[in-house]
Structure 1
Amino acid sequence: MTTKIDYDTLAKKYYDEYLETLKKLIAIPSVYDEATVSDEHPFGENVTKALNFMVDLAKKDDFQVKNYDNKVVEIIIGDYEENVTLLGHTDVVPAGATGWEYDPFTLTEVDGGVLRARGVSDDKGPMLASYYSLKLLKENNLLGKYQVRLLVGGNEESGSACMHHYFQTLKMKQPTYGFSPDADFPLIYGEKGIINYEVKGNFDLKNIHSIIGGVAFNSVIEKCTVNLDSDPKFVEYLKQNNVKFEMEENGDTTDIIFIGKAAHGSTPEQGINAAMVAVNNLAKFYNNAELHKICEMYNDPYGKGINAYNESKDMGKNSMNLGIFHYENKHLSLIVNFRHVDGVNPESVINNIKEANKPYEIEVSSINKLLFYPLDSTLVSTLLNVYQEETGDYESKPLAIGGGTYAKDADNIVAFGLTFPGVEPHMHDPQENIKKDDLFKGISIYAHAIVALGNKIEEEKK
């Protein structure tokens, strides 16, 4: 009879060390930084710094560790071919300019055990929980005849070039089984397909010199700055319509900063797109045909305006997030993050988008396939059973989501936590948070999950 392992008791030893490590990692502002990108720092200097932080941590704890070109760090236990692989990341989205009650790069505990910071839930906190699950298993000799890998990437938020480098360019072995600690519990069995594209056009808005907003394709635009000829009547129009804005006079021109609400690009309906607030009001007041067209195409967060609306039983509706808006020197550039449900043909929807956007040019930058694992598959059923045993939650159901995770970048991977049902972590916005006790529980769940998947590997070898 197999002895039941009390992972919670084993994990307690690591709680204090875990929090101290998280504090140090949070302090590194590991945002993709084009200004410091180089051959040595492919995603910017601070992303490299965060990856090397993990290298130093793993060396201190006597793991096998290797940094692949400052793109991916590989942390390993065991030299077997079959493996349980975990995929996490240290890069984060930009903090944004407004809305933070605390320094985004200082780990702050509030409200009796809630941790606040950029990256605390996406994904530094969960990634480190998985790291300490490896340390727990190694130090307690709980692993069998299979390898365990933790891959820590530096480009998840900007296209996952890190994992593409590891699996496609370097052609490293694929996971036998595994998970990414970068989403929700109980687990994610389906993820929408993702199409990122740019809209390009040229036109003259006369008195409107620039419209600039957005920091990432997968975040709802929180602030948008419009520079235009000074026009007190337009300002009065905004006030009468209760539009949230700030303004700065610049001689003959005025900067009007429209205020929206940040949200994750997979759920644009939960935010308020400041660029679209700006464009809608400019279009109405100045009756501009070009701006009216943009409103018609990009007001609806489900893609109706670009003839790309679909919905399915498992995955809900398509979503469309206009993440970056840039109009300057008579040139328009829009970066759009479009996510589609099952049953959608990507080529057909791209054709619809191109047709709807005419005469503007569409340039597709990336297409990420849809992910779907049957609920009765070994991977899904094993992880669900672990979650249920560790939490006692037999009611919550596996999810199909709009968010894209590392699960699409490797074989036999699903996203598995660390956000518990009913919790709102506010990823990608200034309220990003996670409960300290949830992170601690994550160590236990992930340790149990690694062993359970490893047991499946050993059973299949017999």
Structure 2
Amino acid sequence: MSNIIKMSNIYQKLAKNYEGELMATLKKFIAIKSFYDEKTVSKENPFGEGVTKGLNFIAELARKDGFKATNYDNKVVEITAGDYEKNVTLLAHTDVVPAGGSGWEYDPFTLTEVNGVLRGRGVSDDKGPLLSSYYALKLLKDNDLLGKYQVRLLVGGNEESGSACMHHYFQTLKMKQPTYGFSPDADFPLIYAEKGIINYEVEADFDLPKIHSFNGGVAFNSVIDKFVVNMDNDPKFIDFLKQNKVEFTHEVNDDLMDITFVGKTAHGSTPELGINAAIVALTQLNEFYKINELKKIVDLYTDPYGRGINAYNESKDMGKNSMNLGIAEYKDKHLKLVVNFRHVNGVDKDAVIKNIEEANKPFSIKVTLVNPLLFYPLESTLVSTLLKVYQEETGDIESKPLAIGGGTYAKDADNVVAFGLTFPGHEPDMHGPKENMFKEHLFKGIHIYAHAIAELGKKIEEESN
């Protein structure tokens, strides 16, 4: 035990040498608006110019620091140390969700520190944790603490919009799978189970009386916090909203008015923590005007656990299914909804999809993503090794491994689980306007991840002898 404590102290001591570099790099990194941008998507920029800029930034940083860095088609950057077949692989991402919506106290693309708390889009999801893991790898390389195994840091550009990046790396390019690995994109102590994910789109054509268009939402995995309805000017409906104490603003333009309904954003894996502005708006419109198509949408998508789409289920390990209406649009008499559904273990995904299709009729359904459930036994080498590292580095032996609704890169590769960087009790407000990270936690991440890489590497060496 004394030797373990000694090594842990070494990682902690060495990590202090990289804190200044991390902060300087993070400041530049946060300033890059690396969210998916359909307007700038091209063959050269498959996820938009901002994501390409973010990928190039991290590749250039790695080359400057003496790593081999390869950019695969502006989808994934691979940073490597060592030339061995067996490997420890880290998966992180440079893309972020857009900073749309209300509630920002600070410029989302300027790193701001207030009383030791860092603010900015991507500071917790996932640019901050990415850099903690990057400087952990740099620590090991600079101090000759790597063994006979390769370490790969894979930086993707499409985690927030379906993980096409890692599909390209592992499935299209057929790159080798991790021997062991982790993704610094969730919670400590670690995530041993993740819900399965089914994304789908709903489409229908119909003519809504009085309503000309509506739209809201920035991503399938964020609760809609702002929803705009363009409709005939109707003072009685405005009075109705005021009587119901609905939060909204409106502007009148001759015979038309735009009403902006205000909700509360949350991560799509926990929609019950938010207030979906689209559901608020459509509920009020239906109650006042009695429109069948709106009632259908409200009945289907109000319950965040999937009861409305006949897809409710729960398990002992993973809790309840969840359902998030992430994007809702109506224009030129055409409806489009983008829905994110997550299911627990014990659920037959094919049966669930059939139930969803039946429930939505006569609306049509197109499934766009099926991401399988992830489940690693607590006694497995990967889980037990990472848990031990976390406990040794933090002294926290009370916190238990987690099963979550959020989907991470761990599902996109073999032998990988999500490992930090959110500490127990902290609310990072990922995808929200108060996204934050304690500076101290980013610094702790350096030595925790350095230790984790080294310990997984030792397991590889032991298994190879």
Equivalent residue for 1:67, pick from 58, 71, 81:
71
Q: Which residue is equivalent to 2:388?
A: 385
* Distance across 2 between alignment mates of 1:307 and 1:330: 27
* Distance across 2 between alignment mates of 1:26 and 1:183: 19
Per-residue deviation, 1:2? 5.0
Equivalent residue for 1:46, pick from 31, 34, 50:
50
AA aligned opposite 1:322? L
Deviates more, 1:285-294 or 1:260-269: 285-294
Runs of 4+ in 1 over 6 A off after TM superposition: none
Q: Is 1:371 matched up with 2:371?
A: no
Q: Is 1:351 matched up with 2:351?
A: no
Q: Which residue is equivalent to 2:37?
A: 33
SS in 2 for 1:56: helix
Q: Is 1:152 matched up with 2:155?
A: yes
Equivalent residue for 1:227, pick from 230, 234, 247:
230
Q: Which residue is equivalent to 2:176?
A: 173
* Distance across 2 between alignment mates of 1:351 and 1:219: 24
SS in 2 for 1:445: helix
Per-residue deviation, 1:255? 0.2
Equivalent residue for 2:185, pick from 163, 182, 187:
182
Per-residue deviation, 1:66? 0.6
* Distance across 2 between alignment mates of 1:392 and 1:256: 52
Per-residue deviation, 1:226? 0.4
* Distance across 2 between alignment mates of 1:435 and 1:419: 9
Q: Which residue is equivalent to 1:100?
A: 104
* Distance across 2 between alignment mates of 1:228 and 1:269: 29
* Distance across 2 between alignment mates of 1:200 and 1:97: 24
* Distance across 1 between alignment mates of 2:177 and 2:254: 60
Q: Which residue is equivalent to 2:19?
A: 15
AA aligned opposite 1:215? V
AA aligned opposite 1:345? D
Deviates more, 1:188-197 or 1:3-12: 3-12
Q: Is 1:57 matched up with 2:58?
A: no
Q: Which runs of 5+ in 2 are unaligned?
A: none
Q: Which residue is equivalent to 1:24?
A: 28
1:67-114 Cα deviation digits (max 9, x unpaired): 00110000000000000000000000000131100000000001x200
Per-residue deviation, 1:206? 1.5
1:359-381 Cα deviation digits (max 9, x unpaired): 11111011000000000000000
Q: Which residue is equivalent to 1:129?
A: 132
SS in 2 for 1:172: coil
Equivalent residue for 2:278, pick from 247, 265, 275:
275
SS in 1 for 2:55: helix
1:414-438 Cα deviation digits (max 9, x unpaired): 0000000010000000000000000
* Distance across 2 between alignment mates of 1:138 and 1:212: 49
- TM-score by structure 1 length? 0.99
* Distance across 1 between alignment mates of 2:398 and 2:41: 46
SS in 1 for 2:92: strand
* Distance across 1 between alignment mates of 2:63 and 2:346: 46
1:401-422 Cα deviation digits (max 9, x unpaired): 0000000000000000000001
SS in 2 for 1:59: helix
AA aligned opposite 2:64? K
Quote the sequence identity (%).
Answer: 73
1:287-316 Cα deviation digits (max 9, x unpaired): 111111111111000000010000000100
SS in 1 for 2:336: strand
Q: Is 1:450 matched up with 2:453?
A: yes
* Distance across 1 between alignment mates of 2:298 and 2:55: 41
Q: Which residue is equivalent to 1:412?
A: 415
SS in 1 for 2:428: coil
AA aligned opposite 1:234? F
Q: Which runs of 5+ in 1 are unaligned?
A: none
AA aligned opposite 2:83? D
1:263-285 Cα deviation digits (max 9, x unpaired): 00000000000000000000000
Per-residue deviation, 1:172? 0.4
Per-residue deviation, 1:64? 0.9
1:168-209 Cα deviation digits (max 9, x unpaired): 000000000000000000000000000000111111112111
- TM-score by structure 2 length? 0.98
RMSD over equivalenced CA pairs, Å: 0.8
AA aligned opposite 2:289? Y
1:38-68 Cα deviation digits (max 9, x unpaired): 1111100010001000111001100011100
SS in 2 for 1:10: helix
AA aligned opposite 2:457? G
SS in 2 for 1:8: helix
AA aligned opposite 1:208? I
* Distance across 2 between alignment mates of 1:342 and 1:366: 18
1:219-274 Cα deviation digits (max 9, x unpaired): 00010000110000000000111100011112210000000001000000000000
